[in-house]
Amino acid sequence: MSPARLLVRAIVVSDGRSTHLPEVLAAVAAQSLRPDILHVVLGEGVERPEVPEGLAVDWVDAGRTYSRSVSRVLAAHPAHPHEYLWLLHDDTAALPEALGQLVATAKKRTAAAVVAPAHVRWDDASRLVNLGVTTTRVGARRVDLVEQDDINQGQYDERDDVLAASLAAALVRRDVWEAFGGLEQAYRGYGDSLHFCRRAWRAGHDVVIVPAAKVRHAQDGLMGVRSGSARGEDSTYGLRRTGEWVHSLAWSPVLVMPLLVLWSFLSAATRAVLRIAQNESRMVGADLAVPWRLLARVPQVPAMRLRIRRGSTRSAAAVAPFLVGTRAVVSHIRSRELHAYDRWRAQSAPSDMVRQELERAAVRRRAGLAIVTMLAVAASVALHGTWLTALSSGRMLAGEALGVTDTSVAALWERTWSGWSADGFGLPALDGAFSALLLPLAALPGGLRVWLGLLLALGVALAAVSAWFALGAATRSVWARGLGALAYALWPLHLQAVADGRVGAVIAHVMLPWFAMGVARAAGWHRGEAIGGGEEFPSTRTPSPSAAMGAAFSLAVVVVAAPVLLVPLVVVVIVAGAFAGRARWRVWSAAVPALIVSGPALVAAWSAGPFTRDAWAILARENGPALASTAVEPWRLVLGLTAHSQGAPGLPGIPGTVVVGAVGLGVVLAAAIAVASGRAPWAAASGLAIAGLGVVTAVAGQATVVVHDAGTGEAPANGFAGPGSTLIAAGLIGAAAAASSRLWIAVEGRGRAAVRTAASVSVVAMAGVLVASVVVEAWPGRAERGDVHAVSTAVLPLVAALEQDLGTRQRVLLLADTETGVDYSVLESDGTTTVTGRAQTDAAGAPVARPGTSPTTPAVLADTVAVLAGAGADATPVLADWGIGVIVAAPGSPMIASSLSQIPELSLIGASDVGTSYRVSRPDADEPVSRAWLEAPTGIVTADSDSWSGAVDAGRGDAGTLVIAAAADPSWTATADGAALDAVEDEQGRAAFAVPAGVREVTYGYEDTDYRWWWWASVVATAWALVGMVPLHDRRFQAVRR
């Protein structure tokens, strides 16, 4: 049945926001087969364009949407038999033969409700834009049947039946259009064609694509031209994505709908993470908004589903062959990505000549890295090889500043999550960043013991490798990179930090090069691989957003490890950003996570000053292990020296300053030559400026007391000059390395030999200095720089350590003889722990998080300890009041041990070579000593606690007092059967709450709202940077994807 004559009613709808309308009309006029009737629907007040001669136009006023505009036209003109609508947009211009071919197909395929043309690019008709669309079985992903911009070589000419095609410039049977009531409004213009076509199939019609009929499509709506957005395709992403989900809701079985809504949330979250990784931060919001937009459209879905059901004559299985499965989706995505990658490769592929040179450079580079790593590991082993064997035999590193390092994940987690520092009687913590920093190490197999031990033992090797990579941004000379990396790794203050167990300074030294590299690459300042003739490959370097995020993450780690570096490094980021041109926002964003992580400290410093010494002391605080050191002159810091430098064995004539400072001297000399040479002036100037900042930071740091005697047993300490000195080393080495770049081929003629000779001599001299430094430092019998040593992980007797882990969470009072008396320590865990991070107190002993308060600390136990030392009576009630359940006399302390054994209230529970333990009992009760308990007239009920929270089963339900053996703080909260309890004053300064009668379960915990906000903000910022630094779809990719 082939009707002799079809009626084609062309309808052009324009909102007046596309500039292509005149061309569209011209294209209609140029058709070999003109439409029978042409309606142009124009928005109100839109000027009518010029109409090509001989074209009869019926002008119509627009409705609110495209579909309504069409309906308005149809309402005004009764239907003819065999009437087809040619639905033109104001950005679709058909090629002259298009309508003829569509009509021809329509005549042949009478069952076709939709006969659609191929869409090609507006500016290049050989490039395909759309040639049919399908969707997945779930329906939540639109799958184009051609790749965007695919070259049309006739490879799709056989295609006819498709699930769907764009209705733009398609012939649609008028009766079908009217039966369907036009397009579904719930799609807001994106996805409605797919829905229409799918309905057509279900209603017993066909959808046919005519590859030979081509329509140029400017995609003004898709590209955001209509909404005036400059973001192109991205501007309509949210609408498109929502449309896809609406489609899936409309076509899925009814029971699956809630799951789909749920899935939309999960999918949005996943895509948001992916967006962060792709550094498309603006799209994160668009993705996260999708499920909410979907929820807003859900009310329209039942009506859509009803219409589908009523209009369907074919079963759902009829369209199933058109739908694609997972494998097809994956291959679709893959080919899209590969396509982009290939195009990038094609744009930037090196010539064969260059490729050979690059390969040679890569071999050199890899060999250099291997040798540097090997040498640095050898140096580490020479310096601290005994630590490695100790770690492998199950021991841990410990030291006066370092404390014990066998800290559990739980301890670190409780510290960072709660904001309650459990050391001593506990203090509110300023932040929990340091334990969060070490948490991943503790979570690895082997725990913190192994990984922190390796971090220290291999501190030199790790620093060398990071410096190697960072120096690659400054120079491509393998020699300069290698020597620079080793000099950085053997920086004397870094060795000191390792030997002292100053974990923070070590981490800062290891991470700083990554930050430097990140900033350099984020701004596009890194060097390309050197190829012949002084060229670099690639010749221009694009700034990398992933590198900026890498710098951001490294900076966050650095400022958590060594907060004193926050100010200088933020200054560096700000200045670098100012010079970074178009990458400035990317560079500046590198400071954001660090600032958020340091937020609590910045606020505290602001309210303590802001420009006073107290404020600086907060900024220069030390989070991890700290130790008092002698403040030294700035020039010593430039050489990386401490107050006392040991001379070399066998060379008594050479002062220690020269021996230990040789590496520093070499570096300063190299930097001086760099300045004098005038090469790489900007890099050299930046390096020197950074070194200058480092000097000021180091001196200001060491001049500030950062650990005060707050009564928790920590020795007061001034700041460590190491982090500032790290900045000096990085600046000087960076300056020298940048100036050394391409020195080998720098000078022409006779000068070249001189330069090359001088360079070779310098390289040999520096290498000699480095080797000599290692030999001197590792010389047998030379006094250790610090006190870090390997010990067994069992610090306390097992009976005591077990009590610390039970639900009663007893504290242990450790006593040790001294020359003049006795030392004591209140221990929360098995040995003094500093790696969980310091609570931070000011000079007056008040926690920085609670200025002006004076929480009770173990300092109040001094008299009690004296009584114990004198074997006096009545000491134990105070201990039980503070949850101290076990007293341990340290090994080698016979005086205190025999004093304790004379005290009748104490009972000996064991003696071993790690100490003698005595149990403390409650004075008038049989219940064991505990961290928290309910005190009622009828007796005591102990709580099941951890370091910051707990619960009591009140059982009998008597009224009483909940006593928490921890320093009182406004952030302690308690609830009884869900109702908040009132805090009561406790004479001894503990946290206590009045418990009413008749309650069953009492819980308590430490809830610091400000801390919690900062914690989450820090987690989000750091996670963002962490995900964003994944080099997924780097700038080079993005350059070609659009």
Partner 1 sequence: MIRRLVVLLAAGAAIVAVVVSGRIVADEPAERATTVAEVIPAVQPLACPGPVEIPVGDIDSGDPDLGSGSGERTYDVEGEGADPVGVGFLSEGDVAASLERIGTGDVAGIAAAACVAPVRDQWLVGGSTALGASARLVLTNPSDASTEATVTLYGGLGEIEEHAVVSIAPGAQQDLLLEGIAAEVPALAVHVVATGAGIVAHLQDSRLDGFQAAGTDWVTRGAQPGTSLVVPGVGVSGEATATLRLLAPEGADVALTLAGEDGAAEWGGVSALELEPGVVTEVEVPAVASGAIEIEADAPVVAGALVTVPREVVDGPDDALAADLAWTPAQPADDGAARSVMIAEHVTALAVHASASGEVAFTDATGAVVASASMTAGSSRLIEVDLPAGTVVTGPAGAAWIAIATDEPGFIGTLVPRRTDVESTQVAVSQRGYVRDES
Restricted to residues 791-820, the positions that interact with partner 1 (CB under 8 A) are 791-792, 795, 814, 816, 818, 820
Q: How far is the CB of 408 from partner 1 (least distance, A)?
A: 16
DSSP state letters, 829-883? SSS-B-TT----B-TTS-BTTSTT-----GGGGHHHHHHHHTT-SS-HHHHHHTT
Q: In what helix (H) or strand (E) does residue 1021 lie, and over which residues does it extend?
A: helix 1009-1028
Q: Name the segment binding partner 1 (CB under 8 A); options: 261-269, 488-496, 892-900, 922-930.
A: 892-900
Q: Name the segment binding partner 1 (CB under 8 A); options: 204-212, 256-264, 825-833, 1029-1037.
A: 825-833
59, 682, 779, 1016: which one binds partner 1 (CB under 8 A): 682
Residue 901 in the binding site for partner 1 (CB under 8 A): yes
Q: How far is the CB of 897 from partner 1 (least distance, A)?
A: 7
**Would you state the structure tokens that stand for residue 604, as one six-digit string?**
């505290």
The values of phi and psi at residue 898, to 5°, are -75, -30
Q: How far is the CB of 822 from partner 1 (least distance, A)?
A: 6
For partner 1, the closer of residues 552 and 890 by Cβ is 890
Q: How far is the CB of 708 from partner 1 (least distance, A)?
A: 7
Residue 906 in the binding site for partner 1 (CB under 8 A): no
Q: 711 to 730, contacts with partner 1 by CB under 8 A?
A: 711-718
Q: How far is the CB of 910 from partner 1 (least distance, A)?
A: 16
Residue 847 in the binding site for partner 1 (CB under 8 A): no
409, 658, 859, 1017: which one binds partner 1 (CB under 8 A): 859
Q: 649 to 678, contacts with partner 1 by CB under 8 A?
A: 672, 675, 678
Residue 351 in the binding site for partner 1 (CB under 8 A): no
Nearest to 728 by CA among 594, 636, 620, 591: 636
81, 610, 751, 872: which one binds partner 1 (CB under 8 A): 872
* CA dist., res. 1006 & res. 470, Å (int): 43
The C-alpha angle 965, 968, 972, rounded to 5 degrees, equals 95
Nearest to 955 by CA among 1004, 995, 1006: 995
* CA dist., res. 791 & res. 553, Å (int): 34
Residue 695 in the binding site for partner 1 (CB under 8 A): yes
Residue 52 in the binding site for partner 1 (CB under 8 A): no
**Would you state the structure tokens that stand for residue 412, as one six-digit string?**
């670190």
Q: Name the segment binding partner 1 (CB under 8 A); options: 243-251, 396-404, 757-765, 798-806.
A: 396-404
Which pairs from 99-104 meet CB under 8 Å and 24+ separation? Answer: 99/8, 99/10, 99/31, 99/32, 99/33, 99/34, 99/35, 99/213, 100/31, 100/32, 100/33, 101/210, 101/212, 101/213, 102/170, 102/171, 102/210, 102/213, 103/6, 103/8, 103/33, 103/171
For partner 1, the closer of residues 130 and 832 by Cβ is 832
Mark residues 159-188: x for contact with partner 1 by CB under 8 A, - for none. Answer: ------------------------------
Q: 601 to 640, contacts with partner 1 by CB under 8 A?
A: 613, 628, 631, 633-635, 638
Report the Cα 868 to chain-centroid distance in Å.
51
For partner 1, the closer of residues 584 and 708 by Cβ is 708
Q: Name the segment binding partner 1 (CB under 8 A); options: 645-653, 798-806, 862-870, 992-1000.
A: 862-870
For partner 1, the closer of residues 245 and 824 by Cβ is 824
H-assigned helices in 579-612: 584-589, 592-597, 599-607
Residue 911 in the binding site for partner 1 (CB under 8 A): no
* CA dist., res. 660 & res. 438, Å (int): 31
Tokens 């006190």, residue located? 787
Residue 1032 in the binding site for partner 1 (CB under 8 A): no
Nearest to 415 by CA among 598, 604, 554, 623: 623
27, 223, 404, 487: which one binds partner 1 (CB under 8 A): 404
Return the sign of the alpha-carbon dihedral for residues 33, 37, 43, 49.
Answer: positive
For partner 1, the closer of residues 342 and 863 by Cβ is 863
Tokens 């060379």, residue located? 651
* CA dist., res. 645 & res. 784, Å (int): 12
Residue 841 in the binding site for partner 1 (CB under 8 A): no
Strands 811-817 and 884-889, by their bridges, are: parallel
99, 340, 480, 790: which one binds partner 1 (CB under 8 A): 790
Q: Name the segment binding partner 1 (CB under 8 A); options: 357-365, 531-539, 587-595, 688-696.
A: 688-696
Residue 385 in the binding site for partner 1 (CB under 8 A): no
For partner 1, the closer of residues 702 and 856 by Cβ is 702
Q: How far is the CB of 924 from partner 1 (least distance, A)?
A: 22
Size, binding site for partner 1 by CB under 8 A: 92
Nearest to 773 by CA among 511, 498, 765, 781: 765
Residue 575 in the binding site for partner 1 (CB under 8 A): no
446, 610, 894, 998: which one binds partner 1 (CB under 8 A): 894
Distance set, CA 440 to CA 396, 436, 525 (Å): 18, 8, 32
Looking at the DSSP assignment, which residues form a beta bridge with residue 151?
127
Nearest-10 crossing angle of helices 750-777, 352-392: 10
Residue 407 in the binding site for partner 1 (CB under 8 A): no
Q: How far is the CB of 716 from partner 1 (least distance, A)?
A: 4
